[in-house]
A and B are shown apart, each in its own frame.
Chain A
Amino acid sequence: MKKTLLALALTLFAGSAFAAHGKLNVITSTADLASITREIGGDRVEVTSVARGYQDPHFVEPKPSFLLLLRSADLLEVVGLDLEIGWLPPLIDQSRNAKIRPGAPGYLDLSRGVEILDRPAGAVNRSMGDVHPLGNPHYWLDPANAVRIAIQIQRKLAELRPSDAAFFATRLNDFKSRMNAADKRWRAALAPFRGAKIVTYHNSWPNFMRRYGLNVIGFVEPKPGVPPSPSHLFDLINKMKREKVKVIVMEPYFDHKTPRSVAQRTGAQLLVLYPSVGGAKSGTDDYFSLFDTNIATLVKALKN
């Protein structure tokens, strides 16, 4: 046991020695934020994501290493809008790192500076039923929001490390131009299918679909985390047949049974798209390749 503790102590010590060399230690809640942070921070930052791309970011099982990661963080970046509310707040509390508490300079909630969809106008109360009071948290799946995320990250990095501000600004400009070029390519690829009707499993693709002119007409899951009732599925299947929906989109971590049976009954194709960087073993290594992979999959399915 003593050896174990010693090994852990050495790891911790090595961690703090690293920080002393001047690299900013950035922890992100999701792999997408980590990818964009790497684009901006380059070799001046050390970036680690808590959630892996293949995990549902709503549910992450806390592990001891997360506490150690957060403990030595200079900056914590979160998606916000309650996406991480089930697991991150107690980890922040227990990490005892005052720098990254909400409100502290080392806490960056990226939902503050992006375009949020499905946000109810005016006051929200429970009588309104199906409403997420803060808006849809899956906003990163839109290149325009990726740029907005990058801008916020660049500002924050420059604030925490003023000596490298010019470096971050150059990298942001480079990121923006590459992102614009890539977005044009993606739009062109999906242009022939503008207005195509699609059903998704979870309401996690509104930003993506709107960006590329695709029309989500329903969800397999009536409410997040609630299994569909027979009448919901019946209505969905009829609507899909009526409107000739050819594609159902789902994330890899949801149960395939229900969407597969809906696909079989309607003749639609069930597509697995990756919502996050690192969602698949290959082809989703960074934000750009994530979109390349997803859009290629969509184009192939819509062509049929």
Chain B
Amino acid sequence: MDLLAFLAVPFVAGLILTGIHAYLGLHVVERGVIFVDLSLAQIAALGTTIAYLAGHDLHDQVTYFWSLGFTIAGAAIFAVTRSHRETRIPQEAIIGIVYAVSAAAAILAMSKAPEGTEHLKDMLVGNILTVSWRTVIATAILYAIVGAFHWIFRKKFLAISLGEEIPHLRWWDFLFYTSFGFVVTSSVAIAGVLLVFSYLIVPSVAAMLFARRVGTRLAFGWVMGALVSGLGVLLSFRFDLPTGATIVCTFGAALALLATVRPLMLRRAQ
């Protein structure tokens, strides 16, 4: 049926987002760099804006490489500034500064661009309702590659996120943020910043309420992400609400519910 086809694309897109973000979210929450995705997405957007200003089309390959280049530069900044022991500057401060400065720089760049830039922001930020199957499949392939990369080096990445010292730490950190930047840039382009942030943070926070082991938390996050995606898409169609925002609020409601249920469950377990 037609309606199922309409429901299917955002739902499958949600599953794919869950797959990689629930995993990356574990690292992000463990490291305490909660807003790193917003910051990297903003740097990528700045790269796109500057490419546009230089006369390249938004969907040009060159534009993509500009945004990728900026993302990698951002990853380098985060790898270098990691936990500055001497001055005790928290990394979240650097992340916030990078976010604010790149957002402002994008405004400056746009003010120098020719007219017709009013849609630029819209085109950079995707909408999960109108994403196409082709994009979903291409994104799934990209995430699978990044996922495989993380699976192969899982011990290294996990060790850093848990605060252990390993050889070549900054180099591994750089690889972590670069691969993270790859993922976030594509996911913001299909789902928008709010939704990407929720997929990243909420499942892993919810999992922390109930589980200690990384593997269990990941499984919990995946199940929660899948259920919330399905419910969110259904609610959005049932009540005709913007799909991305509905999923974000469903995440919030699910987290609140889990937090309420937790003490009851723990009491019973005693």
Contacts and interface: CB of A to CB of B under 8 A. Distances in A.
A131 B115 contact: yes
Interface stretch (A63-71, A152-160, A274-282): A63-71
Nearest to A228: B111
A267 interface: no
Contact of B5 (A65, A96, A128, A222): A96
What class of interface size applies to chain B in its complex with A?
Answer: 20 to 34
Interface string B1-30: 111011001000000000000000000000
Contact of B6 (A67, A86, A93, A229): A67
Nearest to A221: B118
Nearest to A224: B118
B114 A128 contact: yes
A8 interface: yes
What class of interface size applies to chain A in its complex with B?
Answer: 35 or more
B129 A130 contact: no
A223 B115 contact: yes
B119 A58 contact: yes
Nearest to A7: B238
A94 B2 CA distance: 11
Contacts of A129: 114
Contacts of A58: 118-119
A222 B112 CA distance: 11
Given A64-B237, A93-B130, A82 B5 contact: no
A232 to B, nearest CB: 10
Given A82-B116, A94-B6, A224-B115, A62 B237 contact: no
B118 A9 contact: no
B242 A4 contact: no
A59 interface: yes
B93 interface: no
Given A62-B242, A63-B241, A90-B130, A226 B117 contact: yes
B114 A90 contact: no
A103 to B, nearest CB: 18
Nearest to A56: B118
B122 A59 contact: yes
What are the 8 tightest A-B residue pairs by CB atom distance, in nearest-first order? Answer: A90-B130, A86-B122, A225-B118, A86-B119, A224-B118, A65-B240, A64-B237, A226-B111
Interface of B: 1-3, 5-6, 9, 55, 107, 110-111, 113-123, 127, 129-132, 234, 236-238, 240-243
19 contacts: A5-B3, A58-B118, A61-B127, A62-B127, A62-B129, A62-B130, A63-B240, A63-B243, A64-B236, A64-B240, A67-B129, A71-B2, A86-B118, A86-B123, A87-B122, A94-B131, A126-B114, A130-B115, A225-B110
Interface of A: 1, 4-5, 7-9, 12, 58-59, 61-65, 67-68, 71, 82, 85-87, 90-91, 93-94, 96, 126, 128-133, 222-227, 229
